[in-house]
Amino acid sequence: MTLQHSEDEELVAGFKEPKSKESAFTSIVKKYQERIYWQIRRLVINHEDANDVMQNVFIKAWNGLDNFRAESQLFTWLYRIAVNESLSYLDQQKKRSNISIDDSGLHLEEKLHSEKDFDSNKAVWKLQLAIQQLPEKQRIVFNLRYFEEMGYEEMSKILETSVGALKASYHHAVKKIEDYILNH
Amino acid sequence: MNSSKTILSETQAISQPVANLPKTNPFTLSQEYFELFSITLLRRIQQSEQKALATPENYFSTFPSKLLEKIKQEHTSAELEELSPMLVGIQKQNPFYVPENYFSTFNATPKKEQAVIRSVFSYKRIIRYAAAACITGLLIISYTYNKDNTTSSLAALQRNSAADLSLESIIGYLDEVDDVKDANESDTPITAENNLLVDINQETIRQVLQEIPESDIKQFIDQTGSTDYKSLN
Q: Domains for chain A: give ranges and CATH numbers.
A: 1-98 (1.10.1740.10), 100-184 (1.10.10.10)
CA distance B3 to chain A (A): 7
* pLDDT mean over B46-64: 73
> Which chain A residues contact residue B18 at CB under 8 A?
127, 174, 177-178, 181
DSSP category for residue B117? P
Cα–Cα distance measured from residue B133 to residue B50, given in angstroms and rounded to the nearest whole number:
86
In a domain, B105, yes or no: no
User: What is the per-residue pLDDT for B192?
Assistant: 59
Query: Which chain B residue shows the shortest CA-CA distance from A128?
Result: B26
| Secondary structure element (H or E) that encloses residue A5, with its range | helix A3-16
Cα–Cα distance measured from residue A126 to residue A101, given in angstroms and rounded to the nearest whole number:
22
pLDDT at B231 over 60: no
* pLDDT mean over A80-99: 89
User: What is the per-residue pLDDT for B11?
Assistant: 92
How far does Cα B112 stand from its chain's mean position? 38
ipTM above 0.95, yes or no: no
Contact A60, A20 (CB under 8 A): no
User: What is the per-residue pLDDT for A146?
Assistant: 93
Query: Which chain B residue shows the shortest CA-CA distance from A27?
Result: B38
- Binary contact (A178, B1; C-beta < 8 A): no
State which amino acid sits at residue B108.
A
User: What is the per-residue pLDDT for B219?
Assistant: 83
* pLDDT mean over A25-50: 93
Contact A72, A89 (CB under 8 A): no
**Any idea what the Cα angle at residue A115 is, between residues A112 and A116, rounded to 5°?**
150
User: What is the per-residue pLDDT for B74?
Assistant: 73
In a domain, B143, yes or no: yes
In a domain, B97, yes or no: no
User: What is the per-residue pLDDT for B142?
Assistant: 83
What SS3 state is found at A31?
Answer: helix
- Binary contact (B15, A37; C-beta < 8 A): no
In a domain, B228, yes or no: yes
Higher-pLDDT residue of A102 and B84 is B84
State which amino acid sits at residue B233.
N
pLDDT at A44 over 90: yes
What digits encode the pLDDT tens for the residues A108-132?
888 888 888 888 888 889 999 999 9
Query: Which chain B residue shows the shortest CA-CA distance from A51?
Result: B37
Closest by CA position to A41, among listed A98, A1, A77, A90: A90
Higher-pLDDT residue of A63 and B179 is A63
Q: Which of B65, B88, B111 is the last residue of a domain?
A: B88
pLDDT at B229 over 60: no
Q: Rg (Cα) of chain A, in Å, rounded?
A: 18
Same domain, B82 and B58: yes
Overall domain count for chain B: 4
In a domain, B99, yes or no: no
Query: Which chain B residue shows the shortest CA-CA distance from A55?
Result: B41
Task: Give me chain B's average pLDDT, please.
Answer: 74
Cα–Cα distance measured from residue B142 to residue A82, given in angstroms and rounded to the nearest whole number:
118
Q: What residue numbers bound the domain in which B187 lies?
A: 166-193
CA distance B8 to chain A (A): 8
CA distance A81 to chain B (A): 16
Cα–Cα distance measured from residue B6 to residue B58, given in angstroms and rounded to the nearest whole number:
66
Per-residue pLDDT band for B156 (boundaries 50, 70, 90) equals low
From the list B15, B22, B27, the residue facing A115 with the nearest CB is: B27
Cα–Cα distance measured from residue B173 to residue B168, given in angstroms and rounded to the nearest whole number:
8
Cα–Cα distance measured from residue B233 to residue B216, given in angstroms and rounded to the nearest whole number:
14
pLDDT at A29 over 90: yes
* pLDDT mean over B66-71: 76
Same domain, B57 and B83: yes
Higher-pLDDT residue of A123 and B102 is A123
In a domain, B26, yes or no: no
Contact B44, A56 (CB under 8 A): no
Per-residue pLDDT band for A97 (boundaries 50, 70, 90) equals confident
Closest by CA position to B36, among listed B28, B44, B26, B27: B44
Task: Give me chain A's average pLDDT, please.
Answer: 90
* pLDDT mean over A149-159: 92
State which amino acid sits at residue B106.
F
> Which chain A residues contact residue B23 at CB under 8 A?
146-147
DSSP category for residue A65? G
User: What is the per-residue pLDDT for B233?
Assistant: 46
pLDDT at B107 over 50: yes
pLDDT at A103 over 90: no
* pLDDT mean over B121-135: 80
Per-residue pLDDT band for B195 (boundaries 50, 70, 90) equals low
Per-residue pLDDT band for A30 (boundaries 50, 70, 90) equals very high
From the list A59, A148, A175, the residue facing B45 with the nearest CB is: A59
Higher-pLDDT residue of B82 and A124 is A124
User: What is the per-residue pLDDT for B153?
Assistant: 52
In a domain, B12, yes or no: no
- Binary contact (B41, A127; C-beta < 8 A): no
pLDDT at A165 over 90: yes
Higher-pLDDT residue of B226 and B102 is B102
Calculate the CA dihedral of residues A66, A71, A75, A78 and round it to 10 degrees: -50
pLDDT at B117 over 70: no
b/e code B28-55 from CB counts within 10 Å (16+ = b): eeeeebeeebbeebbeebeeeeeeeeee
pLDDT at A139 over 90: yes
In a domain, B106, yes or no: no
Out of A22-31, A71-80, B126-135, B204-213, which region has the weakest mean confidence (pLDDT)? Answer: B204-213
From the list A29, A128, A146, the residue facing B37 with the nearest CB is: A29
